Amino acid sequence: MMARTAINLDCRCLQASDAAEVDRIARLYLDLRRQGFELRLRNPTSSLQELIGFCGLAGVLGLEPSGQAEQWEEPGGVEEEGQLGDAPS
């Protein structure tokens, strides 16, 4: 597989950190990817990083630290003790 040429987007030039901005970045990412390029975000503000994470795009856009899997907690539930085969009461 050939390495993709990276395009750097300096996020300091972005005016606002809102959903519309994240949408534009995601669309740019897809357009560049289809053309064989890689998008790298440079100097994103903390609010932009949080918003991208909230939208679930941090891993796609390279803002999650590499090599660290996301930690998921098991949903809380009620556990009852009993013997296998006991009918619930």
Residue range 31-47, pLDDT digits in tens: 999 999 999 999 999 99
Q: Which residue has the higher pLDDT, 75 or 10?
A: 10
Structural domain that includes position 36: 5-54
Q: How confident is the model at residue 14 (pLDDT cuts 50, 70, 90)?
A: confident
The residue assigned the tokens 């796609």 is 60
C-beta of residue 5 within 8 angstroms of C-beta of residue 39: no
Residue 43 lies in a domain: yes
- What is the pLDDT at residue 74? 52
Mean pLDDT for the stretch of residues 44-60: 93
Nearest CA among 67, 11, 20 for reference residue 39 = 11
Question: What total number of domains does the chain contain?
Answer: 1
Q: Is residue 46 in a domain?
A: yes
Classify residue 48 as exposed, middle or buried by CB count within 10 Å of its CB (0-12, 13-18, 19+): buried
pTM check: above 0.85:
no
